[in-house]
Structure 1
Amino acid sequence: MPIRFLPCGDTALTVEFGAGIDPGINAAVLAFEARVLETAPAGVIETVPTYRSLTIHFDPCLTDPASLRATLLSLHAETPRARVREARLWRVPVVYGGAFGLDLDDVARHHGLTSAEVIGRHAAPEYRVAMIGFLPGYAYLAGLDPSLALSRRQTPRPTTPAGTVSIGGAQALIASVAAPSGWHLLGRTPVRGFMPGRDPVFLFEPGDRIRFVPTDPSAWDALDRAAQAGEAVAERA
């Protein structure tokens, strides 16, 4: 897959693999990141994967953009040999609709479906964490059923709860902290994707797989208490 380099000031370089949301492009990004981390080129401080690119932060006292670019080109040719971390599968409980998912019924009406059908289609796929970004721990998910795709709300909400499970365009999302959002809220999970003081601080990683488990509202309080106590709540499969 061809790549191009984009300078980001004097301490970072972005390697771009494509221009859209595509599972193949995202897989190439994560495989390349694995190769970079495996070989640990001189001066590299941090890698930041996205849907279609990998930003590499480096120490300009230890390397320079030209040298790093040459190294990365060589690594790109060797990427198929990278030992990619085995993807973990998480089963994430979600309470759909009502106060937990304010837009569920509207999304159903828009698509000519019942709310139960939207829940069924949303919970059916196995999603893949394409990237973590925007805010700490926000998990952007690839794999949404195309029949549920929907442009973002015309009027964003000034705040939405932590744990919101939502859709926007062709993407799905697990929000980790309370924040403004123009996405459609289908439900909420007690799972904390980001929790300072917990080990790990970030629960999900790019490449992880996600299965949503529709959960009765009566289970919310117990699950939420467990999550606040630092328990993962999401089950590793």
Structure 2
Amino acid sequence: MTPRIEVVAIDTLMVRLFQRIDEANMPWMLAARQRISTAFGTHLLDLVPSYTTLMVQFALPPSEARALITQALEGLQPDAGSGGRRHEIPVWYHASVGPELPVLAARSGLSEAEVVRVHSERDYPVFALGFAPGFGFMGLVDERLASPRLSTPRKQVAAGSVGIAERQTAAYPAVSPGGWNLIGRTPVRLFDREREGFSLLQPGDRVRFVPVSRSQFLALGGDDEAQP
């Protein structure tokens, strides 16, 4: 790994650690985030991790910031104990709230039950937050479930909707437009202004989707109104 530092703005640099998305990147990204945060201290204004990059905003001369980053990343090694939290997120997988569930089943040659099993049988690292507050981009889903975004995005996707786009998966934290393939819905509140940090998920966390019945979903506060 040879990090590359790119200029974004007069007070912002982009540290590119990798060229492609891979789950194995995450321990390195988290270690780099911690080292850079420590190196900049109070001069750090913002540090935004993503799939392969870290965006660093600072209150320092750019040359000093670049030197700090270079020094911080010397001898970088992933820290086995630096991972985020693990979340188990209940999901009611059903065509009424996940209209692409039968579509993915037909496309993959799996039954709907097998799609649910494959999607929920593993942990997904949270690569980044974006699109909407609390929206965590996760992956990578099994190649059999990989599906392109809808050619025409929906004008309204229900809060809690769980979907797949290419080999990524995510849950919508609020009602919004969206073009992901919906396969179920969670009752979990992913963004809450009363919660410290607001977002339930953070880059480096891991998520396991846990299938639940409709009655369990409703008991947990879920809304079973059909997705338009």
TM-score, normalised with respect to structure 2: 0.90
Q: How does 1:1-237 map to 2 (within 5 A)?
A: 1-41=1-41, 43-59=43-59, 63-80=60-77, 85-224=82-221
Q: Which moved more, 1:36-45 or 1:113-122?
A: 36-45
What is the CA deviation profile of residues 127-175 of structure 1, one whole-angstrom value per residue up to 9, with x for unaligned ones? 1111112211111112311111111111111111111111000111122
Counterpart CA distance in 1 for 2:79 and 2:103 is 45
Instruction: Give 1:80 deviation, angstroms.
Output: 2.3
1:52 positional shift: 0.5
Contact 2:91 2:217 (C-alpha < 8 Å) held by counterparts: no
Change in CA separation of 1:81 and 1:210 when aligned onto 2, cut-off 3 Å: closer
Query: What amino acid does structure 2 have at the position aligned with 1:54?
Result: L
Q: Deviations over 1:77-99 (max 9, x none)?
A: 14327685343221110011232
Question: Once the 2 structures are TM-superposed, how far is the Cα of residue 200 of structure 1 from its aligned partner?
Answer: 4.3
Please tell me whether the aligned partners of residues 38 and 82 of structure 1 are also in contact (alpha carbons under 8 angstroms): no
- Residue by residue, what CA displacement relative to the aligned partner does 1:192-216 show, whole Å, maximum 9, x if unpaired? 1211122341111111111111011
Quote the offset at 1:189 in angstroms.
Answer: 0.6
Letter of the structure 1 residue corresponding to residue 64 of structure 2: S
Describe the shift of the 1:152–1:132 C-alpha distance in structure 2 as closer, same or farther (beyond 3 A): same
Paired amino acid for 2:101: L
* Change beyond 3 A, Cα 1:46–1:176: same
Q: Matched residues in 2 for 1:83 and 1:101: separation? A: 36
Q: Using a 3 Å threshold, how does the CA distance of structure 1 residues 78 and 38 change in structure 2: closer, same or farther?
A: farther
Deviations 1:50-89 (A, max 9, x none): 0010001112xxx111110111001011432768534322
Which stretches in structure 1 are left out of the alignment for 5+ residues?
A: 226-237
Name the % identity: 32
The 1-side partners of 2:212 and 2:162 are apart by 13
Q: In the alignment, is the contact (CA less than 8 A) between 1:138 and 1:173 conserved in 2? A: yes
Unaligned stretches of 5+ residues in structure 2? 223-228
SS at match of 1:159: strand
For residues 83-130 of structure 1, what are the alpha-carbon distances to aligned partners after superposition, in whole Å with 9 as ceiling and x for unaligned? 853432211100112322111011111112111110011111111111
Partner secondary structure for residue 28 of structure 2: helix
C-alpha RMSD of matched pairs (Å): 1.8
Report how many aligned residue pairs link the two structures: 222
Deviates more, 1:128-137 or 1:44-53: 128-137
Task: Tell me what 2:226 maps to.
Answer: none
Contact 2:161 2:185 (8 Å CA) reproduced? yes
